[in-house]
Structures are given as C-alpha cells and as structure tokens.
Amino acid sequence: MNGNEKTGSPAAHPVVNHRKRAMLRAVGAGRALVSCSSEPDLFIDGLSCGDQFAAHELAHQGLVRAARPGRPGELVPAVLTAAGQAIITADERPAA
C-alpha cells in the first residue's frame, strides 16, 4: 500500500447515489430479476437495466442478491439484503 488506497470495507460504507437508490427501490418492490453470475446483470420490469456497472456494484457491495440459486446465466428474482433494505428504510424516514 502506498497510502493512496481507500481503507475500510466497501460493504461497510457503500456509495449509493440516486440511480442506485432507484434500483434498490425497484428490487425492494419485487420488480427485478438478476442473472446468476459472478457479474450479475439486473433486469427491471423485464428490461435490462441501463447501468449494469451500477448493478454489479450493488451486488458486490452486498445490497442485492439472487432470491434463490440458479444455473449460470439464469434469471431469478432479485431481493434486497438487510444492508440494502436499511438504505431504503433510511430514505423513507422523514427528515428531522
């Protein structure tokens, strides 16, 4: 390490912008499918998500996962993890 690296776990402090929050809300509403893959693609309302890089980040940050195991490439329902649900829940709370 040369001192320029980020420290801390990305899952502990996920960076979630407005686009990713919208994706999380869609998953939480049961409108999403995810491909069974090491780089899972997200499909919302039957359409491929336009920002697959963000979809991959949500999965790698531990915010979204497949609801059940599947064959490689198979589309299965996507669900929020507890961390993903916490982000959505925090957004729904009224500002103090």
Q: How many CB atoms lie within 10 A of CB 87?
A: 20
Q: What is the pLDDT of residues 48-67, one digit of tens each?
A: 999 999 999 999 999 999 99
The DSSP result for 1-68, as a single string, is --S-S--S-TTTS----HHHHHHHHHHHTT-EEEESSSS--EEETTEE-S-HHHHHHHHHTTSEEESS
- The pLDDT score that the predictor gives to residue 15 is 77
Contact yes or no for 24/91 (Cβ under 8 A): no
Q: What is the pLDDT of residue 96?
A: 60
C-alpha to C-alpha distance for 10 and 43, rounded to whole angstroms: 24
